[in-house]
Amino acid sequence: MPIPLPADTKIIDQFLANNPDIERVELLFPDMNGIFRGKWIPPESAAKLTEGTVRLPISTYALDIWGRDVEEAGLAKVTGDPDGIGIPIVETLSRIPWSSTPAAQCLMTLQSEPGEPCIYDPRQRLAEIVARFARLGLTPVVAAELEFYFVQTREKADSPPEPPFGNSDAQLYDLDRMSEVEPLLKDIRNACDELEVPADTIIAEFGPGQFEINLNHVNDAVQAADDAILFKRIVLGCAEQHGYEATFMAKPYGDQPGSGMHIHVSLLDARGNNIFSSEEGMAEPLAHAIAGCVSVMHDCQAIFAPHANSYRRFQPGAFAPIAANWGYDNRNAGVRVPATEGPGARLEHRVSGSDVNPYLAIAAVLGSILIGLEDRLELSAPSEGDETNEADALDGYWDNAVNRFARSSYVARIFGAEYQRVYSACRRTEIATLARMVTNVEFETYLNRI
């Protein structure tokens, strides 16, 4: 059994003492899709969190988008579906502000056996990348920007979304639109404060009911991913409390901009200096880092665009990057470089949709940077405006992206061959399942015409 950590036990005991009305603690295990799986425990059973008696099947991390086991992944029936040991991330233990019942939540990670991190846990895949930077004396500083839509509450799951304001007018930076949902945005902000998610700027984005909230930079990439995935839960919970639905779907409207998750990265050395900064020209580490991101982008597209709907963003004029390229302060490029001098010198990876698993997306970006540094990759010429080299174009087809991911040596270096195999199996199962579904559009187009 894991040895209980006195500090963790003290934090949990103090939290419960400060919140005697709590009726349950929700244990959150983010799966491969970024969906929270887990269980509820009563507060009187909270001691289990540090005793190693919270268990969850390891196969939970490889469920499909509908919550079903993926036989091809080989983590359930083939192995007898063994349990892992749930370990709390105690600093995330907090009240759930939007819950009608007094409740708390806590992020969890899984060990496959005592002291052995589970390799299928997305959080552990990111932690392993961060550890590789640490061995080089480097610390990634990471921040995420997340776009999302509020929509009117629907009666059925298959009903199309409708804008919350009753029209589809563009609303970019529209302060009046923000005022219309001010109580909701205020509650999101307050919930971020309570959960210690470092939310910063809020803006109205282009699409009707679309907003973006920037999270502050932190020098712990795993925490940055924790912040991003908890932020998603905050938005979904607060929206429901105010009579809306929220969605991080990549492209909820065919004729409106999609939603992205932009990832900002800089690197600190052991003395706290930003190695991406240069007083003249571009620093060599930044050049290698960008080259790594561009070189690996195609191979990791199945991470940045994990689902069928994700690929609707990769269209000309869709307000999303469509090529593996880079540019100085160019939002059309896959990698934007906002600054090359001072503490703010960084790159911005702009390919991910908001439907990503933040742990995997950040791991893919950092892993790409690591490859660029290790292989000293040469930087291509910057892209200007919306110019796109056809050879650099990102794939518009989901199955092509998954197949490339499955055979990529770059992916194996970032995630390990076993995780590459399991992730590919889960995505192929999702592709095959959706391929068998006949849609209403097909009935409308073909049923009475051919």
Return the pLDDT at 3. Answer: 47
Return the pLDDT at 205. Answer: 87
How far, in Å, are 271, 407, 445 from residue 441 at the CA level?
Answer: 58, 34, 6
Q: What is the pTM of this model?
A: 0.96
User: Do 309 and 251 form a contact (C-beta atoms < 8 A)?
Assistant: yes
Return the pLDDT at 77. Answer: 74
Report residue 417 CA to chain centroid gap.
Answer: 21
Please name the amino acid found at residue 136: L
Cα separation, 213 vs 339, in Å, equals 21
- According to DSSP, the residues that pair with 268 across neighbouring strands are 139, 274
Q: Would you list the domain boundaries of the chain? A: 6-118, 129-415
Return the pLDDT at 6. Answer: 60
Superfamily designation of domain 6-118: Glutamine synthetase, N-terminal domain (3.10.20.70)
How far, in Å, are 2, 75, 368, 419, 421 from residue 80 at the CA level?
Answer: 23, 8, 35, 19, 19
pLDDT mean by block of 10 residues, the chain; 450 residues = 64 95 97 97 92 93 95 84 94 96 97 94 98 98 97 92 80 79 94 96 89 96 98 98 97 94 98 96 97 98 98 84 95 95 97 98 98 97 83 93 98 98 98 95 93
Q: Which fold has domain 129-415?
A: Creatine Kinase; Chain A, domain 2 (3.30.590)
Return the pLDDT at 5. Answer: 58
Return the pLDDT at 78. Answer: 73
Cα separation, 352 vs 262, in Å, equals 7
Return the pLDDT at 304. Answer: 98
Return the pLDDT at 104. Answer: 98
Cα separation, 93 vs 341, in Å, equals 38
Return the pLDDT at 426. Answer: 97
Cα separation, 232 vs 251, in Å, equals 16
Return the pLDDT at 8. Answer: 86
CA neighbours within 13 Å on the CB side: how many for 234?
Answer: 27
